């Protein structure tokens, strides 16, 4: 069974570190060895793994994404959030993380980030833990 965590975003674009929330689900489920899938069911948000030690990394990623996919262009989508859809497609909607000895296997500086591209919003993240 999947677990749902909720993320409230406060900006149009932002990265929110959800590593501790995902780790808590793994702990609550009693997963000692297996996989953890983190999935976002939104077309204007994403999930990524990246450095969580220096917040300027997330700021740099967002700045470059905004340069590559500007807010103003000849977009056809009537809602006006085409850049958010494009950024979400570039980042992706899920990550899978290995679990060993009850812990997520992440590098020293890695964290799991919810990526908002059309905020602020109230979002859902699904977490599915699979025993190995």
Full-prediction pTM beyond 0.75? yes
Contact 117, 13 (CB under 8 A): yes
CATH number for the domain harbouring residue 99: 2.60.120.460
**Domain count within the chain:** 1
- Helices 55-68 and 82-91: angle between axes, nearest 10 degrees: 120
Beta-strand pair 94-100/110-116: unpaired
Domain that includes residue 16, residue range: 3-131
Q: What is the pLDDT along the chain (132 residues), one digit of tens a residue?
A: 799 999 999 999 999 999 999 999 999 999 999 999 999 999 999 999 999 999 999 999 999 999 999 999 999 998 999 999 999 999 999 999 999 999 999 999 999 999 999 999 999 999 999 998
Contact 45, 118 (CB under 8 A): yes
């Amino acid at each position: 069974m999947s677990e749902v965590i909720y993320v409230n975003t406060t900006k149009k674009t932002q990265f929110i570190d959800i590593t501790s929330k995902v780790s808590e689900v793994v702990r609550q489920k009693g997963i000692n060895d297996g996989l953890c899938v983190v999935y976002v069911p939104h077309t204007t948000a994403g999930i990524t793994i990246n450095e969580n030690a220096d917040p300027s990394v997330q700021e740099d990623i967002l700045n470059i994404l905004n340069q590559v996919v500007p807010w103003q262009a000849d977009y056809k989508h009537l809602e006006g959030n085409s850049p958010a859809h494009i950024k979400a497609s570039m980042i992706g909607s899920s990550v899978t993380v290995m679990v060993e000895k009850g812990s997520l296997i992440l590098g020293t500086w890695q964290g799991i980030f919810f990526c908002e591209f059309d905020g602020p919003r109230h979002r859902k993240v699904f977490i599915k833990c699979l025993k190995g």
